[in-house]
Structure 1
Amino acid sequence: MVRLPLTPEEVARGQRLGALLRRARGKRSMLDVALAARVSPETLRKIESGRVATPAFPTIAAIADVLGLSLDEVWAEISRPDAGDAPAGSPHGARERLAS
């Protein structure tokens, strides 16, 4: 099977996803989160670093569940182009999102 190259938007969305998961993980170790989600630590590392920009849905669902994130929260955060520019809930980020 030939995999098409990712678009710049897909790459950016993958980077936002990784940043969101890193923030949500906080001080928990990558190993603990990966094991709880039943994914390999290497998979979680690649997702968090943006190297896997389009991970499988069940993988993201499992990680989000362990981190206490709803899939709606994950999608809302990663689907906005400016999602990584300001912390979630900050007035600056909210204003930019409303303007777009």
Structure 2
Amino acid sequence: MVRLPLSPAEVERGQRLGALLRRARGSRSMLDTALDAGVSPETLRKIESGRVATPAFPTIAAIAAVLDLSLDAVWAEIDQPEHADDDRSARRRLVS
């Protein structure tokens, strides 16, 4: 199966996801977190580094559960474009 290249937005979202998981993991070891979530440490490392920008939903759900993160909170944080304020301002101008 051939995977299509990721869009810049998908790459950015993957980087935000990785940063969120690293922050949530805090001082907890990557090995313990990965094993508790039932994923390989290599998979967690790739997600946290942004190398896997679009991980499978069950993988993220398992990691989020181990880190006591709600999936709603995860999505709310990673689905924010870096320039969200600029986008909102532009939309307001269009609506006005």
TM range (shorter): 0.7 to 0.9
CA RMSD of aligned residues (A): 1.5
Q: How many residues align?
A: 87
- The answer for the alignment partner of 1:4 in structure 2 is 4
TM-score, with length taken from structure 2: 0.86
For structure 2, the 5+ residue unaligned runs are: 89-96
- The answer for the alignment partner of 2:15 in structure 1 is 15
- The answer for the alignment partner of 1:79 in structure 2 is 79
Higher RCO, Cα 8 Å, sep 6+: 2
Rg (Cα) greater in structure: 2
- Structure-1 separation of matches of 2:70 and 2:54: 18
Structure 1 ranges of 4+ moved more than 3 A: none
Deviation for aligned residue 1:39: 0.1
- Structure-2 separation of matches of 1:74 and 1:81: 14
For structure 1, the 5+ residue unaligned runs are: 84-95
Structure 1 segment 1-100 matched on structure 2, within 5 A: 1-82=1-82, 100=88
TM-score, with length taken from structure 1: 0.83
* Structure (1 or 2) with the greater helix fraction: 2
Amino acid at match of 2:28: R
Percent identical among aligned pairs is 79
